[in-house]
Structure 1
Amino acid sequence: MTYRGPKARLMRRFGEAFSYSPKYSRILEKRPYPPGQHGHKQRRPRLGDYGQRLFEKQKLRAIYNISEGQMRRYMKEAMRRPGRTGENLLQLLECRLDNVAYRLGFSPTIWGTRQLVNHGHIRVNGRKVDIPSFLVLPGDVISISEKMKNNPHIQAWVSMRPSALIPSYLSADRENLSGVLTRMPSREEIPVNVNESFIVEFYAK
């Protein structure tokens, strides 16, 4: 099951605002401690080997908003592919349709773009795709449906996203509210602050 609770609480738990919405950064600046009644009185606990690996795994799940079952399936696919398992895992997650739409600025949060996908407002090569986990391939064109192109919220979100925050493996067309995955991202290009080696080790046990 994916997380459905308060988003700010989730980010405070991991000590990082993994969203382009400035409100979460402001909340973390104001409350840079874990959530809960006594959170402001506590230091973040030192974690053992297992705790560190569990923390990184849970953080990655939160960033991409995926369930444990989905995470295990992605791990199996990452292990099956040639190359480094950790990088393969991040590439698979980064190329999910909801995440690519998020990186292009169609919504300031991964939860927002997932809703756009679920409601049928995202197109892949001109065709409606309403599956958030759909794997975008190099050359695929991701766009907003004609019905939603005049939506003022989407137009504002796209226009406000600085070009520097759009990963280099994506080619964005702000005027037409679309973008292209030009190639598979390398680890250095994936803007996710996790230790993927710990995650691979967690599932290897």
Structure 2
Amino acid sequence: MMKKLLLLLALAFAALTGFTQTSKTVRGKVFDSSHVALPRATVKLHIEGAKDTLQTITNKEGGFSFDISSENKMWLQISYAGLETFQKNYTLQDLGTDLNFGYITLYPFVKTLQEVVISEPPIQIKEDTIDYKADSFKVKPNSVVEDLLKKLPGVQVDKNGNIMAQGKQVTKIKVNGKDFFGSDPKTASKELPADIVDKVQVIDDYGDMSAVSGIKDGDPDKVINL
């Protein structure tokens, strides 16, 4: 009889000891990025294998705690209005001997601005110049400048290669403001590859003296600059 009593006492003591060993309190504190405690933050703790998720709110010092009886992995979530939600997985070993999540910081939402791409308009009209953005007017591979000119609004090229711009004959084609093909625009338009051109300028040219004096007299020539 005595042996049975001692056995029962031993089993009861072992069960009590086991419960004491597995019943633990885990705790932590929540702050914002200015190191100010956050009261009433919502804290959730889900333990792997558990049916229910534990939930509480922080006290006025930003503190929280949970009593747990499992050593399984844990998932901690902390949320507060206007701040990023904190989420992280833990094991008991991560918490150290004091079973403390430590100081957890919630940061303000970071709003990523959508990239705005400002595209240059395909045609820009200035005082004496019309600029055409070449890549806005698609031509076939291995095309020449003449093919590109045919795509530009206000520019016409006839079957003989004569170029008209805004109803007037184009007298010259320049490259970067310099004469490379004399006074024959046909040669330039048929010899130059279109894919080297990034901009076509149709210019009202009042002559060299006008460029120096700023005085615009007479009827200007139509000149194309590439």
Bigger RCO (CA 8 Å, 6+ sep)? 1
Which has the larger Rg? 2
Looking at secondary structure, tell me which structure has more helix per residue: 1
TM-score under structure 1 length normalisation: 0.20
TM-score under structure 2 length normalisation: 0.19
Looking at secondary structure, tell me which structure has more strand per residue: 2
